[in-house]
Amino acid sequence: MLARPLAAARRFRRVLLLAAGLLAPALAAVAQTVAPEAAAATAAAPAMGVQTVMFWFLLATLGLVLLIFGLLFVLLVIKMKPQLRRLYELPTVHATWSGKVLGLLVGDPVLVVGRDKDELMNHDYDGITEFDNDLPPWWKYGFYFTIVFAVAYMVFYHVTYTGDLQAAEYETEMQQAALLVSADDDDPNKLTTYTALTAGPDLEAGTTLFATNCAACHGTEGEGKVGPNLTDDYWLHGGDINQVYKTIKFGVTSKGMVAWKGKLSGKQMLQVSSYIESLRGTNPPNAKEPQGEKEAPVITAVSH
Label the pairing between strands 120-125 and 128-131: antiparallel
Of 10-24, 60-74, 216-230, the range with the lowest mean pLDDT is 10-24
Angle between helix 266-278 and 241-250 (nearest 10): 130
In one letter, which amino acid is 6?
L
pLDDT band at 44 (very low <50, low <70, confident <90, very high): very low
- Per residue in 94-120, pLDDT (tens digit) is 777 777 777 777 777 777 777 666 667
Task: Identify the pLDDT of residue 215.
Answer: 92
CB 190 within 8 A of CB 182: yes
Q: Please state, in angstroms and as integers, the Cα–Cα distance from residue 182 to each residue in 178, 179, 243, 262, following that order.
A: 9, 8, 17, 19
The average pLDDT across 63-71 equals 93
- Specify the range with the lowest mean pLDDT, choosing from 4-8, 16-20, 23-27, 171-175: 4-8
Number of Cβ within a 10 Å radius of residue 25: 9
Question: Is the separation of the CB atoms in 158 and 132 below 8 Å?
Answer: no
Q: Average per-residue pLDDT in the chain?
A: 79
Domain ranges for the chain, please list them.
3-79, 200-294
In this prediction, residue 178 has a pLDDT band, given cuts at 50, 70 and 90, of low
pLDDT at 190: 74
- How far from 272 is each of 199, 214, 285, CA to CA, in Å? 13, 9, 21
Does residue 141 have a pLDDT over 60?
yes
Helix, coil or strand: residue 124: strand
Residues 6+ apart with CB under 8 A from 12: 76, 80, 83, 84
**Which range (53-62, 73-82, 130-139, 221-230) has the least confidence?**
130-139
What band does 148 get if pLDDT is binned at 50, 70 and 90?
Answer: very high
Evaluate whether 248 touches 260 at the Cβ level (below 8 Å). yes
- Counts of helices then strands in the chain (DSSP H, E): 12, 4
CA 200/CA 192 separation, integer angstroms: 23
Question: What local confidence, expressed as pLDDT, does residue 167 receive?
Answer: 86
- Give residue-wise pLDDT tens across range 252-281: 888 889 999 989 999 999 999 999 999 988
- Give the Cα separation of 68 and 64 in Å (integer): 6
The fold of 200-294 is: Cytochrome Bc1 Complex; Chain D, domain 2 (1.10.760)
Residue 302 has pLDDT above 50, yes or no: no
- How high is the pLDDT of residue 24? 58
Calculated CA dihedral for residues 88, 90, 92, 95, nearest 10 degrees: 50
Looking at residue 17, what is its pLDDT? 58
pTM of the predicted structure, to 2 decimals = 0.41
Task: Answer whether residue 202 shows pLDDT above 60.
Answer: yes
19-39: pLDDT as tens digits = 556 555 655 554 555 455 545
- pLDDT for residue 51: 84
